[in-house]
Amino acid sequence: MAFPYMEAVVGVMILVYIFECYLDKRQHAALKLPTLPKPLVGVISQEKFEKSRAYSLDKSNFHFVHELVTVLMDSVILYFGILPWFWKRSGEFLGSAGFNAENEILHTLAFLAGVMFWSQITDLPFSLYSTFVIEARHGFNKQTVWLFFRDMIKGIALTIVIGPPILAAIIIIVQKGGPYLAIYLWAFMLIISLVMMTIYPVLIAPLFNKFTPLPEGDLRSKIENLASSLNFPLKKLFVVDGSTRSSHSNAYMYGFFKNKRIVLYDTLIQQCKNEEEVVAVIAHELGHWKLNHTMYSFIAVQILTLLQFGGYTLVRNSKDLFQSFGFDTQPVLIGLILFQHTVMPLQHLVSFSLNLVSRAFEFQADAFAKKLGYATPLRAGLIKLQEENLSAMNTDPWYSAYHYSHPPLVERLAAIDEADKKTD
C-alpha cells in the first residue's frame, strides 16, 4: 500500500497551524498586558507604550485572520486535487492557443502564470488592508494607492522577465543532471544568488526607491571614520527615501570584497536624536561584517540548499508521491513543490535553529559596538527605534524564541548593561 503523502502533508500543515496558533495566542495575551516590562519602566514613555500596544494588537488580530484563511485555502487546494486539475487545464490552454502542451517548460510557465495570478488576487485584499488600514491607522503608511499598485506591477514585470529563464534552466538541469543532479542544481542556484546579490541593489532596488549619496557633514565623516578604523572597504554611502512608503526605519550594507556600500533609511536619520545614535547603529551592522556573520549565514544557507536538493533527488522519481497528490505525470516544478511540502516539519526546525543563531549574532554585534565605545548611544538608538517603530514591548518567550530573528529589546538592553557592569 502506497504511503498517503497528501493526507500526511495536510495533517502536518494543520498541526503546525494549531501549534503556531497556540504561540500566537500566548503572544496576544502578552500584548494585552497593560503595563510595561519592569526593565522598560521609565525608559519607554507611557504614550509610546499605549500606541505600541494598540498597533501590535491590531497586527495580531489581522494575523489570526490571515493565517486561518491561508491554512484553509492551502488545505483545500491540496486535499481536493486542485493542483493537478490546474496543471491539466494549463496544458489544455496551451494546446488551444496553438502551443505544444508536451513542452514541459511552456506547460510549467503557463501553470505558474495562473498560480501567480491567483496568488495576487487572493493576497491583494490582505495587502491593501494591512497597508491602508492598519499601517495608516497607526501613522506608518506614507504611500498612495497609485504607488502601491505601481510597485505591484513592477514586481510582476520583474518576475516575468527574470523568472522564465531561471525556471527553464532548472527544468533542463533536472532532465539532464544524472547522478550529480543535486550538485548541479546547487551550483546553479549559487550563481543565481550571487548574480542577484550583485544586480539587485544596483539595478532593481532603484526601480522602487531613490538612493542619494549621504550629504557631506558630521554624520558622513563619523561613519567614514568608523569604517576606516575597522578597515571596512566603504565605497559608497547612501540615503534611501524609505519615507515615501513608510515611516519604519532601517539600515543595511551590501557588496562583495572591496566594494562595500552602506544604506541608511531617511527615517532612521530623522528618528534618532543625534548622530551618535545613527553611528552606533552602523557600528552594530559593521560588527556583523567584522565577526563574519554574513559569511557564516551565507555558508549555512548554501549547505541547507545542497541538502534540500539532495533530498529532492531521492524522491523526484517517486510515482507514489506524485499519485498521492493526484498527478499522473512527474513534472519537475511539481516535484519540487511536493518535496517542499513533505519536508515542511524539517523546514520549521531549520528556521527555528537559524533564528537561534541569528539572535546570538545580534548579541555579538551589540557587544562589538559596545567595545567600540558606543554602548550609551546604541542603547539610546535601540530604544528610539523601538519607540518610533511601535515594536512590541511585551513579548511571550516561547513566541519570540520561535519567530524572532532579533532578541526583544529587554534582552538586548540587559546584555548591554551587563557588559557595562563587567567593564566597571
> Of the residues 104, 135, 266, 366, which is catalytic?
366
Cell numbers standing for residue 50: 499605549
The response to whether 288 counts as a known ligand-binding position is: yes
Q: Read off the pLDDT of residues 40-59 as tens digits, 9 standing for 90 and up.
A: 888 888 889 999 999 999 99
Query: What is the average per-residue pLDDT within 86-111?
Result: 91
- What is the phi/psi pair of residue 140, to 5°? -95, -40
- 420 part of the active site: no
pLDDT exceeds 80 at position 124: yes
The response to whether 248 counts as a known ligand-binding position is: no
- In the numeric block, the cell 552606533 is attached to 280
Q: Read off the pLDDT of residues 147-181 as tens digits, 9 standing for 90 and up.
A: 999 999 999 999 999 999 999 999 999 998 888 99
pLDDT exceeds 70 at position 300: yes
Calpha distance 39→37 (Å, rounded): 6
pTM here is 0.86
Q: What percent of the chain has pLDDT over 70?
A: 98
Question: What's the residue count for the chain?
Answer: 424
| Alpha carbon 145 to chain centroid, angstroms | 24
The response to whether 418 counts as a known ligand-binding position is: no
Please spell the DSSP secondary structure of 182-213, one letter per residue.
HHHHHHHHHHHHHHHHHHIIIIIGGGTS-EEE
Residue 296 or residue 260, greater confidence: 296
- 20 part of the active site: no
> Of the residues 135, 266, 285, 388, which is catalytic?
285
Looking at the DSSP bridge assignments, the partners of residue 141 are 246
pLDDT, position 325: 92
Q: In this structure, are strands 251-254 and 260-265 parallel, antiparallel, or unpaired? A: antiparallel
Calpha distance 421→424 (Å, rounded): 5
Looking at the DSSP bridge assignments, the partners of residue 265 are 240
pLDDT, position 424: 46
pLDDT, position 198: 83
Q: In this structure, are strands 260-265 and 234-240 parallel, antiparallel, or unpaired? A: parallel
407 vs 27, 34, 119, 310, 365, CA distance in Å? 15, 22, 32, 33, 12
Lowest mean pLDDT among 78-87, 202-211, 247-256, 312-321: 247-256
pLDDT, position 369: 93
Q: Read off the pLDDT of residues 6-26 as tens digits, 9 standing for 90 and up.
A: 999 999 999 999 999 999 999
State the average pLDDT for the chain: 90
pLDDT, position 1: 65
pLDDT, position 421: 55
Query: What is the average per-residue pLDDT within 105-111?
Result: 93
Q: Read off the pLDDT of residues 218-277 as tens digits, 9 standing for 90 and up.
A: 889 999 999 999 988 888 888 888 888 877 777 888 777 677 888 888 888 887 768 888
Query: What is the average per-residue pLDDT within 131-156?
Result: 92
pLDDT, position 243: 81
Q: What percent of the chain has pLDDT over 90?
A: 58
